[in-house]
Amino acid sequence: MLKLVTILGVSLLIVLHELGHYLFARAFGMRVHKFSVGFGPTLLSRRFGETVWQIALVPLGGYVQIQGMGEEADPGDGRGFKDKPRWQRALVLLGGPVANWVVAAVCLTLLASTVGLRDLTTPSTELDTVEEGSAAAKAGLLSGDRIVAADGAPIADWDALVSQIRSHPEQPLLLTVERGDGRVDLTATPARSGDHGVLGVQPAARIIKYGAGAGLVAGVRQTVALTVEQTRLMIGVLTFQRDGKLSGLPGIVKTLSAQAKKSFGRFFDTLATLSIVLFILNLFPVPALDGGRLAFLGVEAIRRRPVSETVEAWVHGVGLVLLLGLILFVSVRDLL
């Protein structure tokens, strides 16, 4: 049941992303032929106005079909995507990522006023997550442990702990751990990742609960902080300065399900983080993504004339194939 809820949650993020495109397209008078929830053969469909709304067989995301976007606009119609000014086309492309950002802000605002928000500014050395099969798990570290010293040196905060772990790749590291009312000494050997060590742990966070009014401010502030945090993380991973890996749908479902088992507050917190990740990823200048299409608009603005439709279609087509191949690869890797 949790996995089904998780899959539906991920699908909802993608559907709301497409809804953002739809709302901006309609606001600028573009004709939208179809809005699909899911992919594949149609299960149910109904026309409202000039748009066909459908539910498809595979409930993983969805898509919106705007006239003139990926197809030729009707001659003389004037309502196609490419018939509109560049600024309107840019806002239509930004509508999807913006929708994901707003969804994250709504989730975090609701959490702030109910169960509370994680304090991202003061991560402690208490462990929240210990990855299965990691060096930390092999050493006997548990969720809830607080690491207070490494090789006899006091550990004041999470950054100090990370520094010790990174400097001991494949080298034994004696950790003094507060567990319950006592202390235990455990020896962990961080795995090697490049030229530094990794342990496979995540910090616990202090939870702060806000009132209704303050919850809105806190939710938006947390969304901004999360955007900055995830952007830095992605840049660090892409430049090989931080550890991390891409996850496919199986990995995402596993992570979200694990959080849902702890509490629905943790589930929505993680869902908000995923929504921010979608916001950032879709702005990358990668063909077939919104950022790639925005890049073509930028080239058009510089050249003061559109890029050849054939060239653009070919670039996005190749990008889509490569993107689907990457998704398939990481999804299969998650299952192995």
334 or 5, higher pLDDT: 5
| DSSP code of residue 186 | E
| pLDDT level of residue 208 (50, 70, 90 thresholds) | confident
Provide CB contacts within 8 A for 77, sequence distance 6+.
Answer: 31, 67, 83
Q: Which entry of 18, 50, 132, 309 is annotated as an active-site residue?
A: 18
Distances (CA, A) of 275 to 9, 100, 237, 246, 250: 10, 5, 19, 15, 17
75 or 231, higher pLDDT: 231
| pLDDT level of residue 70 (50, 70, 90 thresholds) | low
Give dist(CA 143, CA 75) in Å, integer: 63
| pLDDT level of residue 237 (50, 70, 90 thresholds) | low
Query: Is the distance from CB of 269 to CB of 260 less than 8 angstroms?
Result: no
**Does 18 qualify as catalytic in the annotation?**
yes
Q: Is the pLDDT of residue 256 over 70?
A: no
Exposed, middle or buried: residue 211 (CB in 10 Å: 0-12, 13-18, 19+)?
exposed
Q: Is the pLDDT of residue 184 over 80?
A: yes
pLDDT of residue 76: 62
| pLDDT level of residue 88 (50, 70, 90 thresholds) | very high
pLDDT of residue 23: 95
Out of 116-120, 187-191, 272-276, 329-333, least confident range: 329-333
Out of 105-109, 142-146, 265-269, 270-274, least confident range: 265-269
Structural tokens at position 266: 């943790």
Direct distance between the N- and C-terminal alpha carbons of the chain, in angstroms, rounded to an integer: 23
Q: Is the pLDDT of residue 71 over 60?
A: no
Give dist(CA 240, CA 195) in Å, integer: 10
| pLDDT level of residue 27 (50, 70, 90 thresholds) | very high
Neighbours of 321 (CB within 10 A): 12
Q: Is the pLDDT of residue 309 over 60?
A: yes
pLDDT of residue 233: 77
The structural domains of the chain, ordered by start, are: 127-203 (2.30.42.10)
- Helices and strands, number each (H, E), in the chain: 9, 12
Q: Is the pLDDT of residue 155 over 80?
A: yes
